[in-house]
Structure 1
Amino acid sequence: MKPAHHADDILVDDLPAPRHSRRLAVVTETYPPEVNGVAMSMARVVDGLNRRNHDVQLIRPRQPARLAVQAGAPRADVEEVLTKGLPVPLYPNLRMGVPSKRALVRLWSLHRPDVVHIATEGPLGWSALQAAQHLSLPVTSDYRTNFHAYGKHYRLGLFSKPIMGYLRKFHNRCDATMVPTETMRVQLAERGFERLAVVGRGVDAQRFDPARRSDAMRESWGAAPGDLVMGYVGRLAPEKNLGVVLAAYEAVKAAHPRARLVFVGDGPMRAELAARAPEAVFAGQRSGDDLAAHYAGLDLFLFPSLTETFGNVTTEAMASGCAVVAFDSAAAGELIRSGVNGWLAGAGREADFVATARHAASDAPARQAVADAARATARRLDWGDITARFEGVLEGAIARAESAALLQGLQPAA
């Protein structure tokens, strides 16, 4: 029988240190149920910060009534502040905030946050940056979208340099800017961005799981047992480089006539893609477990985008047990060892991408080995670890602000 212990016997050092709760203001112009990588990953981070005992104030544009109904009742564990919003050009299902500096100054004057984190660089994000600096609050930000790289796809090439100048000005006013890969950190540093911190992205490997594969779903796509199904998940838009998917499909179909192509997502290129590949399956926009089942039904995932800062669909496909063919860029370039847990083509080398897809389609044993290794890689991308790194950047910004204020207080008056 173990001896009883008195309270005096307990060693204080054996007890975990209490977690210091912070008041965090998170500003984003997109959030679920909107479907995109920024919205999804920000929701994960907010959940993680909340679990780590922080008080999160979420500031975002009010969504259309249709999406608001999908979102359901406001979260009880997060203080949500809804602002006015306007449709984003070319992205009608998304909203951007409007200038709101005065309202944010009032809000944060009454309830001062320890740090402001800005996820998007639109009008609401710019207002948040100005308000935070007006109140001498520490500010961190995310670099999540390569807006400047979209120019050539939307005939906005002349605006590429001004856009990059704005982004550099925005982020260099922040105490730290989080980027998802080391490659992105180096690229932005070369363009004059300062105080960059690499904070990757996680993936929900319980939701995105090969076990969700459905023979009935594959049959609905016209695929018999043993038929190869290739697919793409994401926005159907020019910046996603989807002509390469069609080229790869045509090359594969020449050797495997029963191969099927599935597009999951929606966007302005849907009609053009359907005209060019009328036999392809267009599954539309999917979410949650339904989206996970669509991934799991694919044998080969094609992702030709060169405009991503990360590309969450890459890790979702890997977690789903898909063999991925992608360019050596963003998440794929960071996580995939070509021929081991996926296949990579040189960035922008479209002929190599097509040849790689044709090779992957023709070697079923190699494809299965790659898919198994991809799943193992994805299972290590835990959102808890990502949230801890995110929290570390916030704490660093707070500590530097506190030190600066202390030093300023110690300086003798003039």
Structure 2
Amino acid sequence: MEKNFQKNLKDELDKFLEYEKNKYPLKDTLKIDLHCHDYNSDVPDELIGRLLRVPETWISSEVLLHELERNGCDAYTITNHNNARSCYIMQDKGYDILTAAEFSCWVPDFNTGIHVLTYGFTPEQEKRLNKLRKNIYAFQEFTWEHDIPTIWAHPLYHYSVKEMPPQDFFNKMLLLFERFEFLNGQRDTWQNILVKEWISQVNEESLYNYSQQYNIGLTQYCRHPYKKILTGGSDSHMGIFSGMTGVHAYVPDLQKKLETTSRSQLILEAIKEGNLAVYGSHQNTEKLTLAFLNYVCQIAINFKDPGLIRLLLHKGDTTEKVASILVSNVFSEVQNHKVTMSFIKLFYECMMGKKPAFYKRLLVSSAYKPVFDIAANMPSLYNKDSDEFVTGYYDSLLSINNQINGILAKRLETKMDEIDKDNWSKSFDSIISELELPTSIRSYIGKSDNEKKIDISSFLDGLSFPFFTSLFILAAHFTSAKALYNTRPFLKHFSKALKKHQHPKRILWMTDTFGDKNGVSIFLKQMHEQIKLRDLPIDIIVCSDKIESDDHLTVLKPLTQFNIPSYQDQTINIPNFVELHNLFLEGEYDRIICSTEGIMGIFALYLKHAYTVEASFYLHTDWLMFARKVLNFNSRNSDRMRRMLRFFYKSFDRVLVLNSDQMKWLTGTQMMLDPEKVCKTSHWVNPCFKPRSSNKIINFGIEENVPVLLYVGRLSQEKGVLEIPAIYKQVKKVHPDARLVIVGKGPASKELKVEIPDAIFIDWVDQEKLADIYSSADILLLPSRFDTFCNVVLEAISCGLPVVAYNSKGPKDIIIDMECGFLVEYPTEMAAKINYYLGLENKEPIKTAAIKRSLDFDVETIINELIDYTGLNND
């Protein structure tokens, strides 16, 4: 499906900015950024910033003014939060600065906060404004009485789903403000355009009606109530983009007036009169990523430990405190790593246009010289025009990221090769044990008597610098996306109310497996075919070097890959996370489905929080049983695994399950998920699975009258295949001519071939061939208690082949006992049911019932349910 939402927004913005460009004669305008910050914005709005005791920026007033001038401003103001200290200081130094501040105000009747840019007040008035900002109505009355102009900054920001104000709030604010910040440099174009669209729909009639409805006089807060003015500002806290967004203030006969009047006074009068024309550009994640990376560098250079006791006793919820502790530890570790800190300081200076001395390159190791060279070239882009500057800097950042990722990938591969493969499961078990932090303080300040089974320090040796650098770059991307899309749920609601600029509904379906030979992969391939057939707004993404991209299928090439030692045929592929981050934005997705708990599962949660989208998890695998059966976890570590899974699944907005046992488990006391967030679904079967003529000679090399027991699936312990020899032996006692056919491969194949020398072993086959095999067998046995749905059961009954399986999870939701198959509890009972069925003179009723049951798993119904669950039909 065509992706043009962002393009349409950009086109509309460009058209409007072109109009604004020609609004006034350029010679009679002053260029000013009406919204920018420096070091005196020292009390962040975000609680985590206050917890960590970091200001919103460390940039000095002099550097800010230099950046404003570099980007073409010829008039200046500084709008720090709730104070004008920088304005007063710079005025005392002789600078012509318009006094201003960004006040955080409260709207009591709607229990919400807003930001109000305020200009031209005195120090005494500032004290009064700070007292009044707890009530926006009193605040605006004061500014009206004293002729102090105000602007509602980023009107559509700060509102989450839980804090979404009603439409009455916005209607009422139209009576309080004349000026609205339309173009904000830290908000995305969608949000900015919605502000413009909202204001454009306001007319005199609607304002009059609001005045009557809320009992507010049209001139109670506004001198020109019908004149709604759009403004712009960079909202920059990092300096490098200050001045790139703002207004041209129109001053008739400018040159003559400059002879007697200061620029700041002329700007103030232009703001009051509304003689403003907005300038700027499309706001994108590249610009904000650079800005936040600049800020991350500032934090790393200036960070001081806020203190654990202070963090624990500070207001805020547990999640914010835990996040603050983790962030604090990251920056402390970074500051202790000399190589990383040297690069951060170098990179920050390069971002600010300072070229490093030539001798510094001599001190860099050969592995990092390409990274140094990319950073050292950045200052040459410093004085380019804004678009070239942003593009050049961001391309440099991506190049650095790719270089660092390459180094990290090679070193990780080497580390993985050094791991003792024979003791891998035992080592993994010990890693899970060490995830539990001790409660004793002595364990943190004294020496531990516990012998470490894995030398974590040795494993991390040589990885710190590339890891931290990659982490910082990814963190900057996360923060930029979070700043741009934090209010996405509200914007969807607002655009729906405006009936304009509604974001398309598109799903990114993430998975770690697609081309593999397992049930999840088979299902996803079938889903992909249905998506293509129906042209659904869904794209599947996987990281692999073995498959190619297709319509609705995006394949990322892995940075590195490795195999789990005890599960050698499953490859773990590590993608370029920045590439995946940007792909989500470029694909204009607004929701996620994830099918695996691996790397893609973790990154699905990253994207959910970065882009503030809804994420569903499609649960295919019973990992607790896998941990016990394959990884040999003890009971304590199994319980730890359960808790980690609970945290993981609860992090999603919805979990799709394939059987009633999973639903009961997830909503029960062990997992405690909200029942409304757990939805039961199912798989369907490939149309190729249908009854065919039996041909045992061609398929198995045996006579047609020989009874055939069939097993299809992975040959591994967790699949219960080690029970097959005993079951087969019991069947042979009653039906000595019966033969066993095993289709599949896995680590247990050698043992099975020794235990059952007369069995017929067939490697993996394609689905067309598998349909022939099902149709030629007499009964399918399934000794697994591991499967959550079990595609082979549905495939088999679709071909008229009855199944005997354990009465657990997936099979019991498909098989109707004694009608289209058999559900048993023990291996001996499985053998007895096989003998019973093989002894029937008329097997046709059961075969017919099997085919009939398979028709209940209808693809149309299942796809439509999925569309409903994920809200593609309606939000």
Query: Normalised by the shorter chain, which TM-score bucket?
Result: 0.7 to 0.9
Q: Which of 382, 395, 398 pairs up with 2:871? A: 395
User: SS at 2:784's partner residue?
Assistant: coil
User: SS at 1:74's partner residue?
Assistant: coil
User: Is 1:60 equivalent to 2:542 in the alignment?
Assistant: yes
The residue that corresponds to 2:594 in the other structure is 118
Q: Which of 128, 134, 141 pairs up with 2:610? A: 134
User: Is 1:42 equivalent to 2:520 in the alignment?
Assistant: no
Amino acid in structure 1 at the alignment position of 2:805: A
Alignment of 1:186-197 (within 5 A): 186-190=664-668, 191-194=671-674, 195-197=677-679
TM-score, normalisation: structure 2: 0.40
Check whether the contact 1:245–1:304 (CA below 8 A) recurs between aligned residues. Answer: yes
The residue that corresponds to 2:640 in the other structure is 162
User: SS at 2:762's partner residue?
Assistant: strand
CA apart distance, 1:193: 2.9
Residues 216 and 22 (structure 1 numbering): CA distance in 2 closer, same or farther, change over 3 Å?
farther
Check whether the contact 1:105–1:131 (CA below 8 A) recurs between aligned residues. Answer: yes
Tell me which structure has the larger Cα radius of gyration.
2
Residues 62 and 80 (structure 1 numbering): CA distance in 2 closer, same or farther, change over 3 Å?
closer
Amino acid in structure 2 at the alignment position of 1:28: T
User: Is 1:184 equivalent to 2:667 in the alignment?
Assistant: no
User: Structure 1 stretch 326-335 or stretch 42-51: which is displaced more?
Assistant: 42-51
Check whether the contact 1:264–1:282 (CA below 8 A) recurs between aligned residues. Answer: yes
User: SS at 2:551's partner residue?
Assistant: coil
Amino acid in structure 1 at the alignment position of 2:649: H
The residue that corresponds to 2:688 in the other structure is 207
Q: Which of 585, 594, 602 pairs up with 1:109? A: 585
User: Is 1:317 equivalent to 2:796 in the alignment?
Assistant: yes
The residue that corresponds to 1:292 in the other structure is 771
CA apart distance, 1:212: 5.0
The residue that corresponds to 2:69 in the other structure is none
CA apart distance, 1:396: 7.0
Check whether the contact 1:301–1:325 (CA below 8 A) recurs between aligned residues. Answer: yes
Q: Which of 368, 383, 397 pairs up with 2:859? A: 383
Residues 81 and 61 (structure 1 numbering): CA distance in 2 closer, same or farther, change over 3 Å?
closer
CA apart distance, 1:47: 2.6
Structure 1 Cα separation of the partners of residues 712 and 569 of structure 2: 17
User: Is 1:76 equivalent to 2:555 in the alignment?
Assistant: no
Check whether the contact 1:105–1:132 (CA below 8 A) recurs between aligned residues. Answer: no
User: SS at 2:871's partner residue?
Assistant: helix
CA apart distance, 1:95: 2.4
Structure 2 Cα separation of the partners of residues 58 and 86 of structure 1: 22
Q: Which of 831, 847, 852 pairs up with 1:354? A: 831
Check whether the contact 2:694–2:775 (CA below 8 A) recurs between aligned residues. Answer: yes
Residues 128 and 398 (structure 1 numbering): CA distance in 2 closer, same or farther, change over 3 Å?
farther
Amino acid in structure 1 at the alignment position of 2:549: P
CA apart distance, 1:101: 4.4
Structure 2 Cα separation of the partners of residues 24 and 211 of structure 1: 38
Q: What are the superposed Cα offsets for residues 360-384 of structure 1, whole Å, 9 maximum, x if unpaired?
A: 222242x332122111111331222
> Runs of 5+ in structure 1 lacking a partner?
1-19, 400-414
Residues 76 and 335 (structure 1 numbering): CA distance in 2 closer, same or farther, change over 3 Å?
closer
Residues 21 and 384 (structure 1 numbering): CA distance in 2 closer, same or farther, change over 3 Å?
farther
Check whether the contact 1:58–1:81 (CA below 8 A) recurs between aligned residues. Answer: no
Structure 2 Cα separation of the partners of residues 350 and 307 of structure 1: 15
Residues 21 and 328 (structure 1 numbering): CA distance in 2 closer, same or farther, change over 3 Å?
farther
Check whether the contact 2:558–2:575 (CA below 8 A) recurs between aligned residues. Answer: no
Q: What are the superposed Cα offsets for residues 317-353 of structure 1, whole Å, 9 maximum, x if unpaired?
A: 111211211111223211222111111113xx23222
Amino acid in structure 2 at the alignment position of 1:292: A
Residues 56 and 397 (structure 1 numbering): CA distance in 2 closer, same or farther, change over 3 Å?
closer
Structure 2 Cα separation of the partners of residues 81 and 53 of structure 1: 22
Amino acid in structure 2 at the alignment position of 1:270: S
Check whether the contact 1:101–1:128 (CA below 8 A) recurs between aligned residues. Answer: no
Residues 287 and 395 (structure 1 numbering): CA distance in 2 closer, same or farther, change over 3 Å?
same
- What's the C-alpha RMSD, in Å, of the aligned pairs? 2.2
The higher-RCO structure (CA 8 Å, 6+ apart) is 1
Check whether the contact 2:867–2:873 (CA below 8 A) recurs between aligned residues. Answer: no
User: Structure 1 stretch 262-271 or stretch 283-292: which is displaced more?
Assistant: 283-292
> Runs of 5+ in structure 2 lacking a partner?
1-502
The residue that corresponds to 1:267 in the other structure is 746
CA apart distance, 1:36: 0.9
Q: Which of 368, 371, 374 pairs up with 2:847? A: 371
Check whether the contact 2:556–2:575 (CA below 8 A) recurs between aligned residues. Answer: no
Structure 1 Cα separation of the partners of residues 506 and 700 of structure 2: 50
CA apart distance, 1:288: 1.9
CA apart distance, 1:59: 1.7
How many aligned residue pairs are there? 366
Residues 76 and 278 (structure 1 numbering): CA distance in 2 closer, same or farther, change over 3 Å?
same
User: SS at 1:210's partner residue?
Assistant: coil
CA apart distance, 1:80: 3.8
The residue that corresponds to 2:755 in the other structure is 276
Residues 78 and 103 (structure 1 numbering): CA distance in 2 closer, same or farther, change over 3 Å?
closer
Q: Which of 10, 19, 25 pairs up with 2:508? A: 25
User: Structure 1 stretch 95-104 or stretch 51-60: which is displaced more?
Assistant: 95-104
The residue that corresponds to 1:410 in the other structure is none
